[in-house]
Amino acid sequence: MLQTIRHFLSLIRFSHTLFALPFALLAALMAWRMQALELPAETIGPYGRMTYSSGALAEEASVDVMVHDSYLNVLGAKIPTSFDFVGPEKFRVRWQELIGILLCMVFARSAAMAFNRLVDRKLDALNPRTAGRHIPAGLLSAGQVTFFAVACSAGFVASTLLFLPNRLPLYLAVPLLAFLCGYSYAKRFTSLAHFWLGVALAMSPIAAWIAIRGETVARHPADLLPAIVLGAAVAAWVAGFDIIYACQDFAYDREAKLHSIPVRLGVAGALRLAAGCHFVTIALLAILPLIYPPFGGLWWAGVAAVAALLVYEHALVRPDDLARVNTAFFNVNAIISLGLLVVGTVDLLL
C-alpha cells in the first residue's frame, strides 16, 4: 500500500505543486488583506478607507471620501489614487477558506495530472524520455489511474462546498476541471499548448480570489483585476518555462507529428520566445502594485530578484546544450514561486 501511494505521488509529480500553490496562497492573502481593510460599503467602496496625503482633497486631518471622488478609471476598472490604508487588522481569514484552497489545489492538480498520464500513456511509451513513467512501465494500471482521477475530481468539487455561502466556486468547479484536463489534448492540434498550460496554472490565483471575494466579484467584476494581473504573470511565466522544458522533446515531437513551439520555431526560436514570455512576466509583476496598492517597495525588490533568477534560468540552457533543463525547470522556478509568496506575505504584514 505504501509503495502504491508513493507511485501515485510520483505519478502526479506532487512536488511540482510548488509551482501553482504559492500563487493561490498569495492571492488568498491579498483577498484577506482587502477584506480586513474594508469598512461599510456606503462609505468607502471595495478598496477600504482612504487617507489622502496630497492633492486637492488633502487636509491636516484624515479625509474619508466617497469612491467616485478618489478613483481613477484604468481599463474600465476603478483604481484608487494615492492613499494610506486604515484597518483594524492585517487579514480577515476564514479557516474554512484556507482549508478549501489547499484541498482544491491538491485535488484539481492531481486529477489533471492523472488524466494527462492516462491520455498520453501510448505516446509516453514511445518516447525514450518518458517510457519509464508509471503506466508504460507497468507500475500502475490504467484502471488504477482512472479511479484515482475520478476520485480526485469528486474531491475537488466537494471541497468547493467549504466556501459556502459563496456558491461561485461550486458553479465553476466542473468547467474549470474540464479546462485543466483539456490541456492533455492540446499538443495534438496546436503549438499553443504551452500557453494552455500557463492559463491552467494562472487559474489558481484567480480561483482563490473568487473563492474568498465571490460576492464582491459578482457585484463589481473590476474587483477581480488584481488576481487577473497576477494570473497573467503566472501564465506567461509557466508558458515560458514549459517551452524550455519542451525543447528536450524536439526530435520526438517532430517525428510523432505533435505540435509544440520548439517544433514550429526550432529550439533557438523557442528559447527566444520563452525569454519574451518571461519579460512579460516581470512587466506584469512590476505593475501589480499599481492595481493592488497594499504592495509596496518590498514587492518591487522581490520582482527584481525574480528577474535576476529568470536571467539565470535562461543562462543555463542553450540551443546546443539542454543538459541543465531540469535544473532550470524545477529548482529555479520553485524558488521563484515560493520566494514571491514570502515577499508578498511580508510586504502585506508590514
Q: What torsion, rounded to 10 degrees, do the Cα atoms 21, 26, 29, 31 define?
A: -100
Long-range pairs for 324-331: beta carbons < 8 A, 24 or more residues apart: 325/244, 325/245, 325/247, 325/248, 328/241, 328/244, 329/241, 329/244, 329/245, 330/15, 330/16
Q: Where are the domains of the chain?
A: 17-36+88-349
CA–CA separation, 256 vs 125, rounded Å? 12
CA–CA separation, 90 vs 342, rounded Å? 16
* Cβ burial 261-280 (10 Å sphere, 16+ → b, else e): bbbeeebeebbebbbebbeb
Predicted TM-score of the model (pTM)? 0.82
Sequential pLDDT tens for the chain (350 residues) = 677 677 666 666 666 667 789 999 999 999 998 887 764 433 333 444 444 333 333 333 333 333 333 333 444 444 444 333 333 467 778 889 999 999 999 999 999 999 999 998 888 888 888 888 888 888 888 899 899 999 999 999 999 999 999 999 999 999 999 999 999 999 889 999 999 999 999 999 999 999 999 888 988 888 999 999 999 999 999 999 999 989 988 888 898 888 899 999 999 999 999 999 999 999 999 999 999 999 989 999 999 999 999 999 998 888 888 778 776 677 888 899 999 999 999 999 88
CATH top-level class of 17-36+88-349:
mainly alpha
Residues 6+ apart with CB under 8 A from 116: 181, 183, 184
